[in-house]
Chains A and B, each alone.
Chain A
Amino acid sequence: MILSIAWKNIWRNKVRSLILIGTIAFALAGTIFIIGMMDGWMKDRNIKVIETELAHIQIHNPDFVSNLSLRDTISSGQKIISQIMKMDFTMAVNGRIKVMAMVSSSYSSQGALVIGIDPDRKHEVTKVYKYLSDSTSKWLDQVKRQNVVIIGRKMAKDLQMVNYMITDASLSTLADMGLPLSIISKLDSLQGKKFHTTTRFYNALEKLLTEKELDQYADLIANSCHSYKLGRKIIIRMQDINGNVVEEAFRIIGVYDTDNDLFDGMYLFVKKPYLAGLLGLSHGTINEIAIITNDQRKVEEYKATLKQKFPGLLIESIFDMDPTMRIMTSLIWIYYAIFEAFILFALSFGIVNTMLMAVMERTKELGMLMAIGMNRRRVFSMIMNESVLLTLTGGIIGIILGYLLVLYTGHAGINLSKYAQQGMEAMGYSAVIYPHASPLLLAETTVLVVITGMLAAVYPAIKALKLKPAQALHTDV
């Protein structure tokens, strides 16, 4: 009955309550959305890092990390892999060959890490094939030829393995993306011309556009009209097991793009058996084991189990290899909670104010209730209920709205490339955000809303309890 009275009391001053509910709903919808954006962003990076680079756990010969020498392989690697395969937490496990190399095209050369992986995507922990840049790119298991390589978007650009040609289609894409018409008309003169290197294309742009326009739009333009030189060869130079330099031409069959310049500019993927042959490694030799487990949050636990089982090996979790992952997995919830706490703290002033007004204008009624025998606990709980219901109504509406917004944008994606593609991808974050809100976030928010409603009620409730029934009944309001 107290709960129903509290609920009815909220609607005694409809406008005032609706304003507060609206404010809370609006603020929380925004909060959920912003957190959803961050979370989507983090999750995207998290998944990419796991799928393309680090997996959950990696195992090396302890010497490998300091020397990066081919000699420091994992002895009886295949046996270890089959043992790990049998462990409960293992979802996928795989051995790789990782080797430092120099790569060169006819234009330039640079350092790189060559990863020999299982060509068959079904058997491979690394899921770089998910990030192939377009349909013309192929994966290692789609090509019979052995000396083939998959390179990253950044490296393709660095090695000048990109063609640029402005076409009708690319111009209309640019127009859709909001490129000013004045610039599009300037680009018109380049239509149909093919540029074989990034430098030449940018030089051509420089002649047409002002410095400011270049800064703002050059990358956007370049991205819309480029194509990779698939089928071209690059030279990969490495040291074999005996320290001799081996050099081999590899045909580029695919280009991947994980939105992370550091990774895309460094990692090459080739067929493991072929690489082993080139380097003079015996069949089945590996220097890296990558494991995907059934639960990222329990990775440390699994690592400990593995350490016990394979004491001689260096076993690292994703949190060891990329400390930001720890922040993203566990600490991020604290961060979100603090963020929400700030918003709710700001809102609590409005709630306190409304509840205080509600108590003050009901002085006589509260006096009457206490006079006829409503005890302090009940009065307190009535005001508490009222505040929590009021806050929760706004909160639930806000959470639902925010969640719908997250669902909608999470499906469509929010494209920030117009503003900050370069900066974000250099840091390893995608320029397209797919917001994401976990049930945990929604639950956490609901709990915080209830706590806010309760805390905000304390002061007004104490005010109410201080009323003396005899005086309250004779107060003029």
Chain B
Amino acid sequence: MAVIEVKKLHKIYKTGEVEVHAVRGIDLQIEQGEFTAIVGPSGSGKTTLLNLIGGLDEPTEGRVIIDGTDITQLKDNQLIDFRLWNIGFVFQAYNLIPVLTAKENIEFIMHLQGKNKEERERRALELLQEVGLADRANSRPSQLSGGQQQRIAVARALASKPKFVLADEPTANLDSVATTNLLELMEQLNREENMTFVFATHDSRVIEKAHRIIRIEDGQVVNDEKVK
């Protein structure tokens, strides 16, 4: 069974009289362990699609089934809880709570899950090790570079042990070295822990690393191919 299953998905934004048909009937399956890029020109609907998959937005039509659960049927509060336990998020920016240290940021999501202090600390340190920032555990986000912040965000996304990680333009604010580093980190996590990653991007350096590339234009899938 696919971990993400999208069926006849539509999203129409209404602003006053104007209707924007951002997603027009997308069908999609993503299997456990995939390393998938959603690519396409600006305004093509990448963010919209990712938000729908992540339960951050409601579709106008169609279904999003995550690991057998139709999340379009969930109530608001159930959806928040579902995200907490099942989906990891890495955003382009504003991923971290500025008043908490790197380690505390990773712990925070486990705190929301009700994990005890001991477990939280152990896993946070483990993840800091994995993303190569063990020495920055006590730094605040403002004391970290953009690339380091995104690594912490990846660690935070993994901390909740999600079924997959959604990343919307995670490298948009990074230079090429940091971009390569972050991509290598995600790829390594995908390889070693079989973690599923789905990321939206139009950065060619990122696209190169993807194992599957889903190209969308005008809210529709125009190409879908396995490259590795």
Contacts and interface: CB of A to CB of B under 8 A. Distances in A.
Contacts of B84: 372-375
B144 interface: no
Contact of B111 (A1, A8, A469): A1
A344 interface: no
A470 B51 contact: yes
Contacts of A474: 47
B74 interface: no
B56 A8 contact: no
Contacts of A11: 99
B100 interface: yes
Contacts of B93: 364
Nearest to B94: A364
Interface stretch (B75-83, B178-186, B192-200): B75-83
Q: Is chain A's binding surface mostly helix, strand, loop or mixed? A: helix
B109 interface: yes
A40 B89 CA distance: 61
Given A469-B56, A470-B57, A373 B109 contact: yes
Chain B interface: which size bin? 20 to 34
Nearest to B140: A8
A369 B91 CA distance: 11
A153 B98 CA distance: 71
Chain A interface: which size bin? 20 to 34
Contact of B100 (A8, A372, A375): A8
Contacts of B100: 5, 8
A212 B28 CA distance: 97
B160 interface: yes
Contacts of A9: 99
Contacts of A364: 93-94
B99 A5 contact: yes
A365 interface: yes
A353 to B, nearest CB: 21
B83 A8 contact: no
Nearest to B99: A8
Interface in B120-168: 156, 160
Given A5-B99, A365-B97, A375 B80 contact: yes
Nearest to A374: B112
A372 B85 CA distance: 9
B40 interface: no
Contacts of B97: 5, 365, 369
Contact of A373 (B76, B80, B91): B80
Contacts of A1: 104, 107-108, 111
Nearest to A363: B94
Contacts of B44: none
A373 B160 contact: yes
B95 interface: yes
A470 B57 CA distance: 6
A363 to B, nearest CB: 9
A378 B108 CA distance: 12
A371 B83 contact: yes
Contacts of B77: 375-376
A470 B56 contact: yes
A12 interface: yes
B160 A371 contact: no
B170 interface: no
Interface of B: 47, 51, 54, 56-57, 76-77, 80-81, 83-85, 89, 91, 93-95, 97-100, 104, 107-109, 111-113, 156, 160
Interface of A: 1, 5, 8-9, 11-12, 364-365, 367-376, 378, 468-470, 473-474
Q: Lowest 9 CB-CB distances: which A-B pairs, in order?
A: A373-B84, A8-B99, A470-B56, A364-B94, A470-B57, A470-B51, A375-B80, A373-B83, A1-B111
6 contacts: A1-B104, A9-B99, A12-B99, A372-B112, A372-B156, A375-B112
